[in-house]
Amino acid sequence: MTKTKRIGILTAGGDSPGLNAAIRGVGKTALGFYGMEIIGFRDGFRGLVTDRRLRLDRNVLAGILTVGGTILGTSRDKPHRMKIDGRSRDMTGVIVKNYAKYGLDALVCLGGGGTQKNALRLSEAGLNIISIPKTIDNDVAMTDSSIGFATALDIATETIDRLHSTAHSHHRIVVAEIMGHRAGWLALGAGIAGGADVILIPEIPYHVDKIVEAIRRRSRHGTNFSIVAVAEGAMGVEDARAFAAAENRKEKARNPHERNEAKLELAALDARHAGNTLRLAKTLEELTHLESRVTILGYVQRGGTPSPADRLLATRFGSACADLIHENVFGVMVASRGNGTEPVPLVKVAGKRKTVPPNHSWVETARRVGTCLGD
């Protein structure tokens, strides 16, 4: 008699629209199509350590397709560096033991770049792991898209649409800060779709004088307002050089002391960068003599009902994940490829980031319609 496969599933990292749709996709395919069992672990990897779990049956999965967030809860805990009783401990061994204790045949990890690295570590520890990419930043490597990006793009675009009214009515510069610390997909996509006049992303360091000139040019043509879409990680040329130099020193460090010094320098640069959007708006106001206002979208981009595109992507991911488990394909991430999916080895994903190439078609499109990118 064939043993019924038992799957564990968890969501880790930041929350994202579409996580519940993915849980449902895995669960309904595993339960209904393959006759598997599925156990959900609460609050990411910590639930697997502390025995916080629930059985995911048809009743639990019912009605969650359109619900934002994750019914399992999430956390940013790392298996190899988890706070237990006030100190950081490597709990990888505990996770391996509990995986066997619960009789799991596979563990599904839904998350962003950090989760892909943690999934690889557990795979290398001998567990059957499959991951599913989610992040509103769309920066997980080796996949066309990630769960949450489409919804966040809709929200950010709608915000820019609404900001046009107040910018036009009051002859203002309105600066909209959009999420994207290391990758500018969200700001770039929303900026183009929302008709922003200036788009600033981390991949293209900006010159303030170029932005000022673009705004003044609009004024000379009789348009006394501008919309600036700025990714939270966008920075001026000088700051970008400082970050690049510190990153380079960290990579070339010959000993732990040098590496730690570089890390401290990067932390100081990060702290200095905080509030950059507010400073930029003030500078633009001083140089253009146009009133400026700042809107920081923040976590609203992660919230609410997932868009139809995200529900579709998440369901496809979840169903494909169950197929791979049935086929005993492990150590992979389910990646989006065109209208389909394909398994990509975690070793090709972990530690990598998908950033906007300078010659990407979206960048070229923005330039052709006259959008200033600050370079």
For residue 172, being part of any structural domain is answered with yes
Residue 62 in any domain: the answer is: yes
pLDDT at 1 over 60: no
Mark which of 280, 303, 326 sits at the end of a domain: 303
* Residue 194 contacts residue 178 (beta carbons within 8 Å): no
Nearest to 148 by CA among 133, 131, 159: 133
* Residue 57 pLDDT class (50, 70, 90 cuts): very high
In angstroms, rounded to a whole number, what is the distance separating the alpha carbons of residues 345 and 329? 10
Share of the chain above pLDDT 90, in %: 78
- Same domain? 74 vs 11: yes
Same-domain pairing of 246 and 340:
no
pLDDT number for residue 255: 85
* Per-residue tokens: 174: 């309105």
| Residue 367 resides in a domain | no
Q: How many domains does the chain fold into?
A: 2
**Mean local confidence (pLDDT), 103-113:** 97
Is the same domain home to 108 and 218? Answer: no
Domain of 273, CATH number, reads 3.40.50.460
The answer for 298, left when phi > 0, alpha when psi is -120 to 50, beta otherwise, is left
Same domain flag for 299 and 177: yes
How does pLDDT run across 255-265, given as a tens digit for each residue? 888 888 888 88
3-state helix, strand, coil in the chain (%, to 5): 45, 20, 35
- Is residue 338 located within the same domain as residue 268? no
Average pLDDT score over the chain? 93
> Is 356 inside any structural domain?
no
Q: State which residues form the domain around 29.
A: 6-147+306-348
Per-residue pLDDT, 93: 95
pLDDT tens profile 271-312: 888 889 999 999 999 999 998 999 999 888 888 899 999 999
In a domain, 36, yes or no: yes
In degrees and rounded to multiples of 5, residue 234 shows phi and psi of -65, 145
* 153-186 confidence digits (pLDDT tens): 999 999 999 998 887 777 789 999 999 999 999 9
Residue 365 within a domain? no
Q: Do the Cβ atoms of 186 and 220 come closer than 8 Å?
A: no
Q: Is the pLDDT of residue 79 over 70?
A: yes
> 76 — phi, psi (to 5°)?
-100, 20
Q: Is residue 199 domain-shared with residue 284, that is, in the same domain?
A: yes
Residues in the chain: 375
pTM (2 d.p.) = 0.93
Note whether residue 142 is domain-resident.
yes
One domain, residues 228 and 313: no
Catalytic center residues: 137
CATH number at residue 323: 3.40.50.450
> Is the domain of 211 the same as that of 229?
yes
131 and 231 inside one domain? no
Dist. CA 69–CA 11, nearest whole Å? 10
User: Final residue of a domain: which of 303, 332, 365?
Assistant: 303
Give the pLDDT of residue 45: 96
Q: What pLDDT is recorded for position 134?
A: 96
In a shared domain, residues 111 and 156: no
Which residue carries 């956390």 as its tokens?
A: 75
pLDDT reported for residue 273: 85
Predicted confidence (pLDDT) per residue in 118-146, tens digit? 999 999 999 999 999 999 999 999 999 99
**Confidence check: pLDDT of 2 > 80:** no
**What's the pLDDT score for residue 250?**
83
Q: Is residue 353 part of a domain?
A: no
156 and 267 together in one domain: yes
- Short-list 95, 103, 97, 99, CA closest to 4: 103
Report, as an integer, the average pLDDT of 349-358. 95
Question: Do 315 and 298 share a structural domain?
Answer: no
Q: pLDDT band for position 315 (50/70/90)?
A: very high
